[in-house]
Amino acid sequence: MSAYVVDRESIAYLVTAALQLPERHDSLRWHHAGESRTLHAGDYPAASRLGQMLWDENIRSVCFRYDEPYAQVDRGKLPGTNGESYEFDFAAGEALTTSIEPAVVLGVADCLEYQSCEHPEWAESEAYAILNSIRRVAWQSLAGYQWHPPTIPVAPVPWQGTRA
């Protein structure tokens, strides 16, 4: 399988979704290493760290896939956008003005996971936990989503067997 570093717009879209989609609680919540963590709406420094964490995990995966040392790799030469710095600062204008669509969030999250899952620590990483939390709020934001099915009257079914 090949892997590449996703583009800045993909990371910005996911971070924007993390800030905008959790309407019920006004924050994104995830659990990692036995701790509960939160990204509050409007916390752009934390949003920048979250975006950088997602991107770094993607880079770590690409390095692992191509047997490059993560700490010393020239990020500008990794498969992905040429010349990209891979430094994410949400406060410096990374916010997107486009509307966030839950189905698009799910697709972008799937792409990022596919490009980030090459290294063995992926499933235990905080980035993985964050991505799953973003997915959860995207699912919950889909039109028609309900935590449980609506009450549907069920007609009794006549007995069709023999009784002992």
pLDDT in tens, 43-63: 989 999 999 999 999 999 998
Look at residue 50 and tell me if it is in a domain. yes
pLDDT of res. 112: 97
Q: Is 5 helix (H, G, I), strand (E, B) or coil?
A: strand
The pTM of this model reads 0.84
How far, in Å, CA of 110 to CA of 114, rounded?
6
Percent of the chain, pLDDT > 90? 52
- Residue 137: which domain range? 8-141
State yes or no: pLDDT of 23 exceeds 80: no
Answer yes or no: are the C-beta atoms of 14 and 8 closer than 8 Å: no
- The pLDDT, as a whole number, for residue 164 is 59
CB 55 within 8 A of CB 84: no
Domains identified in the chain, total number: 1
User: How far is 117 from 64, CA to CA, in rounded Å?
Assistant: 10
Burial of 20 (0-12, 13-18, 19+ CB in 10 A): middle
What per-residue confidence (pLDDT) applies to 1? 59
Report the mean per-residue pLDDT for the chain.
86
On whether residue 152 sits in a domain, the answer given is no
Please give the backbone phi and psi of residue 38, each rounded to the nearest 5 degrees, phi first. Answer: -140, 140
pLDDT of 37 higher than 80: yes
Residue 147 falls within a domain, yes or no?
A: no
Tell me whether residue 69 is in a domain. yes
Residue 146 belongs to a domain:
no
The answer to whether position 158 is within a domain reads no
pLDDT at res. 79: 82
Is 164 part of a structural domain of the chain? no
In a domain, 45, yes or no: yes
- Is residue 114 over pLDDT 70? yes
* Strand blocks (E) in the chain: 27-32, 35-40
Helix or strand or coil: residue 158?
coil
